[in-house]
Structures are given as structure tokens and as C-alpha cells.
Amino acid sequence: TNMKCTTVQYCLNKYLEPERMDGENKYHCDNCNDKCDAERWLTFNHMPPVLNVQLSRYIFDRKTSRKKKLMNQVHLPCILNVPKDHTSEEQATPYILCGVQNHRGTSAYNGHYVAEAMDWTTGIWFEYDDQTVTLLEDGPTSSYGIDDNIEKEQVQGTSDAYNLFYVKQSFLRESVKQQLSLDSSCFSKGVMQQVSTERRNMYQLEMECILTKEHTLERLLR
């Protein structure tokens, strides 16, 4: 279907909206032992350190009696603001996108799976496609908000992403501090930029070594 592209933030907000229960879907009240109109909604009792968001890509098609994949395109915000419920959107907790699982293909029965993951300490993204690892300069596919220069209007939505991993911003910050054994005063842009540059240089060097080995093997086989 040719539908307008949506965002994970919009889907989450809609998911948290109250559901009206009336008509044939009335709520059975235990106090009055009768069915009555009501509303129900979802509330987070506490905000988890890692939020796993699964998009409903696969549904059962009653016309064909088979599963099918929904190809609706979705934008992935790098920062997802998660409220405790529909009444507290202004006090939402920020979560950072750290991992994406993609299913490439249109069938619900087969396809190819590719992962995209972020290095927590540097913010650098990589794509993992079987044995091939690729540096993602602009972050994960179909994402926006990774910096001030990338807005959702500038990227195309994805019909492949189905499993997203968001990490609570405060939890991510503390985890990085512990991993690098640094106090907060050391977290300057210069230090992180140096680590980021070293990781990028190491990645480029490894890619050059792989290409050199492949070219050498080609010459030997001629």
C-alpha cells in the first residue's frame, strides 16, 4: 500500500492513548456486575534501562489464510521521548536508539536479516550483514535527529526495520562512564572525538587489509 510515512514517536504516542470501551466492547465491572462504558490505557510503572520496541510487521491475512509482511515505511528517531502515560508527555524520558534489526524482503516466510548497532562509547554506527561490516557515517538507515543537520524530511522511511533497541539516556551515560573509567570532567568533546577518530581509522585499516588479501588471492588464482 502507498501510505504516508510515519515515525516511531507517533506510533508510541498513539499506542499510549486511551482506548474507549463501549458498544459491543463494553467493560465488565466487578463492582456492579454489569457491562459499562469505560476507558483503558497503558502506564509505565518505572522506566526500564533498555526499551525494546517491536513493530508489527507481520500479520495474519484472513483472505489468504497466510501471514504477510506489512511494508509501511517508518522513520526512526534517534531520540525517543517516552512518557509514563498519555497524561505526562511533557515529562517524557529520553531514550537513545542503539540497535536496529532489519528484515529485507517482502515475504513473511523468508528474507535476509541485517543488524545495525551503535558503539556506545563513541556513537559510531555499523551495519552487520553476515560477515560484512560497514561503517554508517550518517547513523542507522531511515533515522533522523542524530545531529542538528538531519531531519526526518531528509531521509526515506524504512520498510525493513522491525525490532528496535532504545537505551535510557541517563543509563547510557553512566554505562559509558563506567566502561571508560572516566569521571564526568573527562567527557569533553575532544576526548570523545579522539576515540571516535581512532575507531574510524582502525575500521578503515581493517577494510584495506581485507581488500589487499582479496586482490592477492585473485592474482594467485589467475
pLDDT tens-digit map of 130-182: 999 999 988 888 888 765 555 556 778 899 999 999 999 999 988 888 877 65
Query: Mean pLDDT across the chain, nearest whole number?
Result: 83
Short-list 128, 126, 125, CA closest to 112: 128
Whether the Cβ atoms of residue 64 and residue 44 lie closer than 8 Å to each other? no
Short-list 88, 96, 134, CA closest to 115: 134
Query: CA 96, CA 81: separation in Å to the nearest integer?
Result: 9
pTM equals 0.75
Query: CA 183, CA 15: separation in Å to the nearest integer?
Result: 38
Please give the pLDDT value at position 146: 61
**Does the pLDDT value for residue 1 go beyond 50?**
no
Tell me the residue type at 72.
N
Tell me whether residue 161 is exposed, middle or buried, using C-beta atoms within 10 angstroms of its C-beta: 0 to 12, 13 to 18, 19 or more: buried
pLDDT band at 222 (very low <50, low <70, confident <90, very high): low
Task: Say if strands 19-21 and 38-40 run parallel, antiparallel, or are unpaired.
Answer: antiparallel
Please give the pLDDT value at position 106: 93
